[in-house]
Amino acid sequence: MVTPWSIEQVAAVAPDAASVTAARKLAVTGTWPVTGVCEEPAVLFGECKGSGATPYVALVDLAGPAWNCSCPSRKIPCKHVLALLLRWSSGSVLAAPAPSAAATAWLDKRAARAEKVAERAATPPRAPSQATLERRAERIAAGLDELGTWLEDLVAAGVSVPQGDDVARAAARLVDAQAPAIAERVRRLHVRSDDPSWPGTLLESYGLLHLLVTAHPRASELPGTLGAVVRRRVGEPTRTEVVLAQPPLRDVWDVVALHTDETSRPVTHRTHLRGRTLGRSFVLVETGPRSGTNPVPGTSIDADLHPHPAATDRALLGTVHTPAVPLEHAPHGDPAHELPLLWSAAVAADPWRERHPVVLADARLRLDGDGGWLLDLGDESLPLLGRSAARVCAAVAGGRAVTLVGDCTPRGLEPRAVWDGRRLVTA
């Protein structure tokens, strides 16, 4: 029988906390005349009576996972799907000999779409013409030249936080110049922090932007993959088929965290995977609404990952050889005292990196004397960012060494999850 998800796994796929709250109530008080779960095909289905005469049909393809509901909600997954998952996790959904008619029809449509996608992937896309590439290169070069002049004017006038309108105009011109990634960096320049170190952070942002402007014309001359990194950081796209053409890395991947960045535009979802044999971390990145194609935190999958040619920590999910199963042991991690070396190597490969996924096997936490928490690295320490997340980790640790999942940043470690001895707890 398909192993039910834990409550934490259900909460991890929710679009927001409000959806989880609504789903918990609906799972208990809602009327569910039809529910069932099948092992082959692995599908969960249910009908929930709402205010109308026709019940809402909630469906979950557990092999994906993917979800669908007949309700009008724009949230994906909606509260009905989440409530159905919660009922399943509590043991309230019984095994069914066959999926419902609605589930069968939906799975057939998904299979047909997947076949079309595979056909398109097998057909080499038409490469852009040389004239198109030259026009794009000219736009980017002109946009970066203008950005360089703007940065020089800002510094010449005295380093200060630029006005929001000036930043918006500069970012818009970069978008017009087909350099969207560097435009996103420019948009963040006008955000002033309460942190007393913000002037240094602002000056560092100016320096990194100027370094990109300077490096881009020489990208083809840079060693190793650094030229590709520069082009990606400016915003030159890498086509999906190029990434999927990279040699796959097959491993049993522990899905250790899911983080949604609501501040980015568009919203970005980062699924962190850690290889049991390879001992490497990769992130699957989605933008906009979640598609449900990436695996769920707290599970393990035997799958191929295709590493991004211009990003050491990003990949695309390839062939999944076996369905996801619950994670039953702590994920493989690096010694905590090696974190500075891991971060140094990551920044050497990409100087514009803002975060790097890590799993630390023997993390010890201690108070910093100001109500916050530090990651003890032996001779030094690193702040844990986000007091609420840090308190969760400290409570789970209880003074013991724990396996900690997070993102290393220039300011400290952003905790994402912690292993409590039985399961991953989202921070």
Give me 298's structure tokens: 């707290």
Domains held by the chain: number: 4
In degrees, rounded to 5, the angle at the alpha carbon of residue 110 between the alpha carbons of residues 289 and 120 is 85
The CATH number assigned to the domain holding 297 equals 2.40.50
Does the structure show a pLDDT above 70 at 297? yes
Q: Determine the Cα–Cα distance for residues 207 and 361; give it in Å rounded to an integer.
A: 35
Q: Average model confidence (pLDDT) for the chain?
A: 86
* Mean pLDDT for the stretch of residues 221-248: 86
Q: Which residue has the higher pLDDT, 193 or 323?
A: 323
Task: Please report the pLDDT score of residue 265 as a whole number.
Answer: 67
Task: Please report the pLDDT score of residue 160 as a whole number.
Answer: 66
Task: Please report the pLDDT score of residue 44 as a whole number.
Answer: 93
Q: pLDDT band for position 193 (50/70/90)?
A: low
Quick one: 12 and 103 in the same domain?
yes
Q: Determine the Cα–Cα distance for residues 151 and 202; give it in Å rounded to an integer.
A: 12
In degrees, rounded to 5, the angle at the alpha carbon of residue 377 between the alpha carbons of residues 374 and 379 is 110
Q: pLDDT band for position 31 (50/70/90)?
A: confident
Sign of CA dihedral 234, 235, 238, 240: positive
Quick one: 212 and 159 in the same domain?
yes
Task: Please report the pLDDT score of residue 134 as a whole number.
Answer: 82
Quick one: 183 and 144 in the same domain?
yes
Q: Does residue 2 lie in a domain region?
A: no
Quick one: 371 and 281 in the same domain?
no
Q: pLDDT band for position 123 (50/70/90)?
A: low
Q: Which residue has the higher pLDDT, 127 or 345?
A: 345
Q: Does residue 33 lie in a domain region?
A: yes
Least trusted range by pLDDT, from 4-13, 88-97, 216-225, 407-416: 4-13
Q: Does residue 286 lie in a domain region?
A: yes
Full domain range(s) for residue 152:
130-234
Q: Which of 234, 268, 299 is the last residue of a domain?
A: 234
Q: Determine the Cα–Cα distance for residues 117 and 247; give it in Å rounded to an integer.
A: 20
| 211: CB partners within 8 A, 6+ apart | 351, 352
Does the structure show a pLDDT above 80 at 266? no
Q: Does residue 241 lie in a domain region?
A: no
Does the structure show a pLDDT above 80 at 56? yes
Task: Please report the pLDDT score of residue 373 as a whole number.
Answer: 92
Quick one: 190 and 92 in the same domain?
no
Task: Please report the pLDDT score of residue 6 as a whole number.
Answer: 84
Quick one: 422 and 340 in the same domain?
yes
Quick one: 141 and 98 in the same domain?
no
Quick one: 340 and 415 in the same domain?
yes
The phi, psi pair for 48, rounded to 5°, reads -120, 125
The pTM (predicted TM-score) of the whole model is: 0.73
pLDDT above 70 covers a percentage of the chain that reads 93
Does the structure show a pLDDT above 80 at 232? yes
Chain centroid to CA 343: how far? 19
Q: Does residue 321 lie in a domain region?
A: yes
Q: Does residue 242 lie in a domain region?
A: no
Cα within 13 Å of Cα(8), Cβ side: 20
Q: Which residue has the higher pLDDT, 122 or 107?
A: 107
Quick one: 117 and 140 in the same domain?
no
Q: Which of 102, 122, 142 is the last residue of a domain?
A: 122
Tens digit of each residue's pLDDT (9 = 90 or more) over 360-387: 999 999 998 788 899 998 888 899 998 8
Q: Does residue 163 lie in a domain region?
A: yes
Q: Which residue has the higher pLDDT, 203 or 306?
A: 306
Tens digit of each residue's pLDDT (9 = 90 or more) over 281-290: 999 998 876 6
356-367, strands of its sheet edge to edge: 381-383, 373-376, 356-367, 402-409, 412-419, 424-426
Quick one: 258 and 312 in the same domain?
yes
Quick one: 13 and 30 in the same domain?
yes
pLDDT above 90 covers a percentage of the chain that reads 37
**What one-letter code names the amino acid at 401?**
A
* Mean pLDDT for the stretch of residues 135-151: 88
Q: In this structure, are residues 19 and 79 in contact, taking their beta carbons and an 8 Å threshold?
A: yes
Q: Does residue 357 lie in a domain region?
A: yes
Q: Which of 207, 234, 261 is the last residue of a domain?
A: 234
Quick one: 117 and 17 in the same domain?
yes
Residue whose entry in the numeric block shows the structure tokens 């921070």: 427
* Mean pLDDT for the stretch of residues 392-411: 92
* Mean pLDDT for the stretch of residues 12-26: 87
Least trusted range by pLDDT, from 104-118, 121-135, 210-224, 274-288: 121-135
Query: With 0-12 CB in 10 A as exposed, 13-18 as middle and 19+ as buried, what is 328?
Result: exposed
